[in-house]
Chain A
Amino acid sequence: MIAFPLIERISVHRYALYPGRDGTGELDIDLGRGPWLVLGVNGLGKSTLLLLLRYLLAGPVRTRSAGFAGEREDLQPVNNRFFAVRVAGGADHATGKIVVRFGAKTLTVERSLGTLALHQAHIVDATTSRLLQTEEDYRALITDLMGVAQFEDVVRVLDHLIFYLEARQSLIWDLAAQFELFRALLTPTLSADLRRLEGEIVSADSAARNLNATLYKITQRRDREKNRRVTADDTRARIAAAQGELDKHVNDELALAKQLEAAEILRGDCNLQRKRGEKLVDDAAQAYEKIKFDVLRQAFAGVEPTDQYLYLKLLSEQICIACNQAAPDAAAELQKRHDEGRCVVCGNPRHLDHNVDSIGDVLAARASEAFRLLETRRAELEDFQKQYVKANDAVYALYDEVSKIRLAAEDKQGLIRKLRKNLPAEENLELTREEERIRTLRDEVLTFRHERETAERAIEDLLAQLSVAVEKVREKLELAFHEQAAPFFAESVRLVYAPRTAKIGQGGRSFDFPAFEVEMTSGATLGQFVRRTPDQVSLSQREYLEIIFRMVLIDVLGEAAGSLVVDGPEGSLDAVFAGRAGDLFARFSSAGQTNVLLACNIVEGGFIPHSLSNYQRSDRSDRIVNLLEQATPTQALKTLQPIYLAKVAEILDRDPS
């Protein structure tokens, strides 16, 4: 059972950056339901306070960057004097304490701010209480409290989910980070095995590649040496030339494989766009046919449904489905007959009042609008179709190129074998000895490959279990994301489950890894457009997609309990979106057992009023950690403090517009 930390209290003792309101060196903050705003000006220590929370919980470590790695440690030490160097005196006597709740259990952690060493950790629930004093015991405890299997996963959860700090660690754009997080949270019992096998695959693959490189060098050296010692004859020269070409083919094939991967992704996107285009055309055609049907129902009185259908197709799509040809003239003629109140089938005059619904202005406008939409959709589809054909052709062209290169490489290998047979017997003997050494190395390469394949077979089953676990929550995550994102973004945004295919080592097999990506409408492109990299969206979109994804994960995987800590949430927003962002945090904090801690500048606009919209004016100041009053003032603040304080009071007094 996964439980995310819900931060309840923070205390900082004798740390010179935060002397407290009365200068006693005590900063105490009790956090209930949020959002909580840490307010201050640049240099007052807003970001430092949030970092302090992170380091109190995790200690002086971080995890390596997300991605497949060999057998090296995931946990890496960080500078444990991080907080000490920020104040005079090295923070030797400064301590920090954080109280967090995991379900029914309350954990208190106290560390030195001089070295980040653990002073003590205390865990309490309804019946038991336990004191811990070693880092090792503490790590085991918090791992157990969070419900994950290893401390590395605790740090991952903190850095990729709970804390969204100045470094802007990515999750929604980093598919490797998503995999590691899902692995930790959804299959905790498999997490260590998955990581171990990943390490084995990467190490075996890397060893095989390194040996191959050595093998290549030895082969080259041997060939050069032989060519130097023996007078080069035509055969040797031809072998060397063929070997050079063979090497080039191998390199070209590797480069093409990468191009092919990218081309296949593009083709997939184009195909999706094409299918959606077809659906839109179909919808538009159906809508237009329906309007036509309404208009012409009376005109078709007495006509068989099949014939009605034929006429409808002719009138609405201007296509004759009897001969599958465009028939605009016939359609125009039918339309004319109808408009003139004549029988649409034979053209004879008929009594309008009995047989024909005259097409009212409203219906005419609807028909015209529906037809315009149909034309637009058709034009779009044609465009999508062209893009797909182009992308598909590109893939096949690359396949062709790969095939040609493989054939050429096989030719060269055959030629080399043939030419070597033509060398004198003595030279062949020497060559055989060289080949023997080379063969030994090749056997080593094969052994490593075999190790990699064994690990690959083992990891396949574990990855399948992880995929199933993610697929079970997929729909909930997609829906929850939609609920949070819809009121915030002007664009239509969707979170979509899209497993990525990747190799763990550079060689070897590909696997599917669970991952989500974002689709968003854009003024510049037609329809929903998949965004795979952060540079495909604006800065504020990038940040808020990350924040909303984290909210949704806390909500769905943590059963709506946990804290979200965000540094600088107001920085990238304009006047309109500042209010929407405030509403987003207010909404998140009012549901379940969640709270949000936001460090932000004293900004005009709607961000602060909207964030605190759940509270009456009189209660708003209780939700503020005002560093103007509790932190060591900067030089600028010494003179400007009254103005800033007045501004804070004014902003808190303002109702959301």
Chain B
Amino acid sequence: MIARTFDSDLRIRARVLQIMAALERAGATPISNRDLHSVAYLANVLSPIWDVEPLETSVLKDRAGPRSSAFEHEIDLCIGLGLLVVDALQPDADNPARLDATYRLNARAARPVLAAITLLPDEQSVEHFLNELAFAFVEIKPELRDDAALQDASWSNPAVSEGRIVDFGEHSQRAAVNPSYNAAQAFQRFAPEGIRLHRAEKLLMYVRLLKRRAHG
């Protein structure tokens, strides 16, 4: 029997809680496992807008959408520590061979941890960024939220085939040309003269673009 545990990564675990807290504030919880991975992915590719360090800089382009093993493991550990609650556990409607869990934050247990995280100056900026992202994300219809990540510019980059790696800074020498970031920045070009778009506006406009593409 091979039973292996991953090393825990407190940085990722903190981000799991921060994302869940932001989603809670935006009224997007309980959230399904797939949607949570979508938000985590968007947080990674859009992090340069906020000068926030992404948790991961690449992901396998899979038909089912972005999914990070390390992030998944930290979700599990958050559940094990009582910081997240599994709200429901049932067979996945899209793929009966899988289970689908939906989560919410266990506010009482998570609050002191989140308060400690927020004491760190750079994590305050992360919190603002995730709040903006969550409030924008919640505008997308719940049943189309997992599609939003598939519409993202880095994910849908035609230069990356399915089964290959979407690299937004891991080994790519050109992390600055992350297509999602570039697309968000491009909104400035369409702003009226003299108007300088705030990064929150660019983020919102970009997620609305994903929403429009997901809604068809």
Contacts and interface: CB of A to CB of B under 8 A. Distances in A.
A467 B2 contact: no
Interface in B82-103: 82, 84-89, 91, 96-99, 101
16 contacts: A272-B165, A276-B163, A282-B69, A287-B97, A290-B96, A293-B89, A293-B99, A304-B86, A308-B86, A309-B101, A310-B79, A319-B3, A322-B80, A324-B80, A325-B5, A474-B158
Interface in A450-471: 467, 471
B80 A328 contact: no
B56 to A, nearest CB: 11
B15 interface: no
Interface residues of A, number: 54
B79 A271 contact: no
Contact of B171 (A267, A278, A308, A497): A267
Interface residues of B, number: 41
Interface stretch (B19-27, B38-46, B58-66, B136-144): B58-66
Given A290-B96, A378-B4, 19 more contacts: A267-B171, A271-B170, A275-B59, A275-B165, A276-B60, A287-B97, A305-B101, A309-B89, A310-B79, A313-B76, A313-B80, A317-B3, A319-B5, A320-B80, A321-B79, A326-B5, A474-B161, A497-B160, A498-B161
B60 A467 contact: no
Given A471-B159, A472-B158, A496-B164, A282 B67 contact: yes
A622 to B, nearest CB: 43
Interface of A: 264, 267-268, 271-272, 275-276, 278-279, 281-282, 286-287, 289-290, 293, 304-306, 308-310, 312-313, 317-328, 331, 375, 378-379, 382, 467, 471-472, 474-475, 478, 494, 496-499, 519, 528
Nearest to A326: B3
A319 B8 CA distance: 13
A289 B97 CA distance: 9
B177 to A, nearest CB: 11
Interface string B1-21: 111111010000000000000
Nearest to A318: B3
B78 to A, nearest CB: 9
B67 to A, nearest CB: 7
Nearest to B88: A305
Contacts of A305: 85-89, 101
Contacts of B69: 278-279, 281-282
Given A271-B58, A272-B165, A306 B86 contact: yes
A282 B158 CA distance: 26
Contacts of A471: 158-159
B186 interface: no
B158 A272 contact: no
A498 B159 CA distance: 8
A293 B1 CA distance: 20
A266 B101 CA distance: 37
Instruction: Name, among B76, B82, B99, the residue most crowded by chain A CB atoms within 10 Å (CB to CB).
Output: B99
A44 B161 CA distance: 46
A318 B1 contact: yes
B8 A327 contact: no
